[in-house]
Structure 1
């Protein structure tokens, strides 16, 4: 099995869960949500169902109370009905076309061994299903598509707001060093294509990295021009929802807070773009707060979906197709076992310090041999991975502080390594509100501290340095706004 086919299989696995596992049609069905009895597509090749009967409700309806939710028993009954229709097809009591039309209306596919009816599993679908919020919002989702729609509105009206201007604005910010490279998203050709098509093509991780900066661009720059304010309001609202969803993993976002943000966006989007612009993903988003309340967390994506490139890396040079899959798994397993034996499993880049850097290390760690030092990069923290040059928050004498990470250094002790972080602390502006998501700091390299990394570094930040390099504005994600830095 060639690596390209393996990658495509990994990419499509989660997309096929609804079809292969529970056989729900999703977007392809007239009833497009597997959790709702009467949520129907607003647009249809024929007359939309919600215009023909009061029992059907368009997905453009933003009120949860108007939809009838499936129960575990009602889904089982629906699948049994699909099986009965298939038995009628086999007995030639109905035509193939009538059978296909029935499945289209019901929103479910027939499969010979549906796990919902398997008594060994007894899956309770209505109680188990969780939608991946990243698929809803940032992977051909609500946020990235709406950015394309908004920019096309400005492009069509020859406004100063454009992808080119947005790209220039993004270039003034500094992202964590291990964040995706964003320059290719705003090349001249990419800007022209995005403006013409009214879409914005990027990966999920790229858009999540851009989200706070795009939010600031629409809040501080576009809104000040006063052009197409309904577009601005809707765009800011969807980015607010994405920023809250990014913070759900910290456990600080409440379901009601998320529900309010999602509902606010849908109302603003509907007010400008209209009912016809609604997609099934708009409907799916309304389920996320309830899922957060039920499960206590929300999955963005499965691990294998975030590791497509890693799979390709392992399999790129495997040319022999005999026992290809077994050989690939063996190579991955052996490498993982080797990594587990390394002293810095969470640090994927280490190096021995050489040259001038040894002079300050000898002063900070008197009596330690040079061979005991190891430079450690790519440590896992909130917001991603951190390395020298990133802006991070840390605890100093029990108080939250923020500054530039100058160095992560591991010192070999008799039993194990101890990792220290050298951080130049910055001074916060006393006039800044601690509730603002962008806060100003005075840059300094005079107040340098040495901390144990395991208990000090908390979060890595996106920031924008002033031209004179004296001050800097830093983005504070929602999960750490209550912390006073």
Structure 2
């Protein structure tokens, strides 16, 4: 009895076995709301052995999902704050962004990977960029095996049509009633506003010819690939993907696209197959009566957004530019070893220690112009500031005019990337300024390497400022690439996928998401200490002397802080300040009055990203004055060089 009493006092830990975790996830999903279960179903037509069969796929019931989230204080508080700032009404509904991508679990090179899936996610523009950079803000709407999509009548476009026209999506523009934990009820309105994807998914969803077609851009009627067809254009209206003058582009409208498809429908079966193929090539559209164009369910021009991450960092313009720059630097006497040693001379922030070895791998061997530069999106994102710093360190008199042009083109590219990344962190971008920087880069690239080096993504980049002007923000796929890992982790444990595959994956993924969102504060975007502890006696004494007894009372301290969403700073890091300076961080604390402070030693700018210490003593500053941590190289006791 005594032992039983002790055990009751101690309590018992929650189960941590895989079975216990799975049971907890299942309980999260098995809820009933005013709008039904969290998971609903759609039916698609699949061609099996020349017979069309109905196949049911699980899909997120978005109204039930939102109603369930609003019952939890953390997510309800975030939702209410955003709605108070940006009200949702029938006239001004919240804007949904639908994202689509193919995920390849397991062996990437396997010829028949049956676990490959097409994934659809949704989020809301009104969440803001800080929330959208967090995985929990993107809700997995549907998963479908790629081999099943390939058998569908109408393919991925037909699946997309089934998703965007399902009753739950269709009902959102008319409003749904959500109940907060306080009992307050609010009407919520939303509509699908944007479709975001890489070039391959855009091609399949909208049934356009894409980068390999005569018309590589689905948004332009007169931009052609490098086929030479423009040389036979008597009107002079055609231009190639190397054109950097947006005034020459003839933009399609959704009515133009619908009319072209209607003309193909009228000619279908009334001309030879070869003639019909030529008609599709001329229109830049694939005929598909089950797709979103024929059904007019997802207007291409109105909704399509190119993903700037794929444009620049996934076999994109950064790879193209860097693959042409490095051979010229080698020729100028810059060896791969010298570039690598320069990069390794910098100290990384504590939060990025895990990628120190990964990033320089791209530069370990000499890169030939014929093979091009290779690197993942994360490697490119992390290495471009370092490569820029190396280029800027070169003595102008030691390189030829040709190499100078190549360096200038690369630096222009970095200016574009800087602006796009600032927008990704929440800064408001000006479309005209983005247009200027992108045009400057594209023109410099053409002058340096010639129009024959242009790729379709160079033209796609010219559309980004116009998309920014139309949507007021640009959304990228950085967060989704991280979110794919969760699906891959689940899929790697599932063998011989069958008809149960999608339901199992959706249930597991949704349960994991709900556990993460409802177990604590949703979207921790405010600056906060990480793993704080009560301040020790020495720190309390300093705080009392500086801020009084009220400031020292119950003060907390930590060696790490989240200064902004996704921006973690640690003791010993050098940080960029919003005022423009640089400082070395020593500790972070929260006063009893609630203020969040950092103990910093400030450095003042000396030019060329070199900074000198201004005072021997550190002082307390507001954490909100910190922009982010940066790479640094010490040049002596009082000087450092930073990579912003």
Shorter-chain TM-score: which interval? Answer: 0.7 to 0.9
The residue aligned with 1:206 is 379
* Conserved? CA contact 2:439–2:462, under 8 Å: yes
SS of structure 2 residue aligned to 1:183: coil
Alignment-derived partner of residue 390 in structure 2 = 217
Match of 2:513 in 1: 333
1:256 pairs with one of 432, 456, 464: 432
The structure 2 residue matched to 1:70, chosen from 252, 261, 284, is 252
Residue 134 of structure 1 is matched in structure 2 by: 309
Q: Output aligned runs, 1:447-458, within 5 Å.
A: 447-449=618-620, 451=622, 453=623, 456-458=624-626
- Measured in 2, the distance between the counterparts of 1:349 and 1:29 equals 52
Normalised by the length of structure 2, the TM-score is 0.60
Q: Assess if the C-alpha contact under 8 Å between 2:575 and 2:630 holds in 1.
A: no
Q: CA 1:222 to 1:205, structure 2 compared with 1: closer, same or farther past 3 Å?
A: farther
The 5 Å alignment of 1:141-220 reads 141-155=316-330, 157=331, 159-179=332-352, 181-187=355-361, 191-192=364-365, 194-195=367-368, 197-220=370-393
Question: Which residue number corresponds to residue 103 of structure 1?
Answer: 280
* Structure 1: gaps (5+ residues): 477-485
Equivalent-residue separation in structure 2 for 1:457 and 1:314 (angstroms)? 40
Shift of 1:68: 1.3
User: Where does residue 480 of structure 1 map in the other structure?
Assistant: none
1:28 aligns with 2:212: yes
**Stretches of structure 2 lacking an aligned partner (at least 5 in a row):** 1-102, 107-113, 121-145, 147-195
**Counterpart among 438, 452, 456 of residue 276 in structure 1:** 452
Residues 82 and 109, structure 1, Cα contact 8 Å, conserved in 2: no
For 2:65, the equivalent position in structure 1 comes to none
| Residue 290 of structure 1: aligned partner | 466
For residues 341 and 284 of structure 1, do their structure 2 counterparts lie closer, same or farther at Cα, with a shift above 3 Å needed? closer
**Higher fraction of strand:** 2
Q: Secondary structure at the match of 2:364?
A: helix
1:441 aligns with 2:619: no
Give per-residue Cα distances to partners, 1:211-240, cap 9 Å, x unaligned.
233222223316442232222222222222
Deviation at 1:283, TM superposition (A): 0.9
1:386 and 2:569 matched: yes
Within a 5 Å distance, the mapping from 1:321-360 to structure 2 comes to 324-341=504-521, 350-351=530-531, 353=533, 358-360=536-538
For residues 121-145 of structure 1, what are the alpha-carbon distances to aligned partners after superposition, in whole Å with 9 as ceiling and x for unaligned? Answer: 4x44323322211211122111222
1:330-379 Cα shifts (integer Å, max 9, x gaps): 4413431354358968789944659xx83434435678999984747461
SS in 2 for 1:199: coil
Aligned to 1:481: none
1:112 aligns with 2:289: yes
Among 560, 584, 587, the alignment partner of 1:407 is 587
Q: Deviations over 1:407-437 (max 9, x none)?
A: 33457x7xxx9573332231314x65xxx7x
Q: How far, CA to CA, are the matches of 2:527 and 2:487 in structure 1?
A: 19
Q: Does 1:230 align with 2:382?
A: no
* Distance change >3 Å, CA 134–CA 337, structure 1 → 2: closer
Alpha-carbon offset, residue 446 of structure 1:
1.7
Contact 2:104-2:117 within 8 A present in 1 as well: no
Matched, 1:40 2:231: no
CA displacement at 1:191 relative to structure 2 = 2.9
Q: Structure 1 residue 64: deviation in Å?
A: 1.7
Deviates more, 1:380-389 or 1:61-70: 380-389
RMSD of aligned Cα (Å): 3.8
Residue aligned with 1:77, SS: helix
Which residue number corresponds to residue 61 of structure 1?
A: 243
TM-score between both structures, scaled by the size of structure 1: 0.78
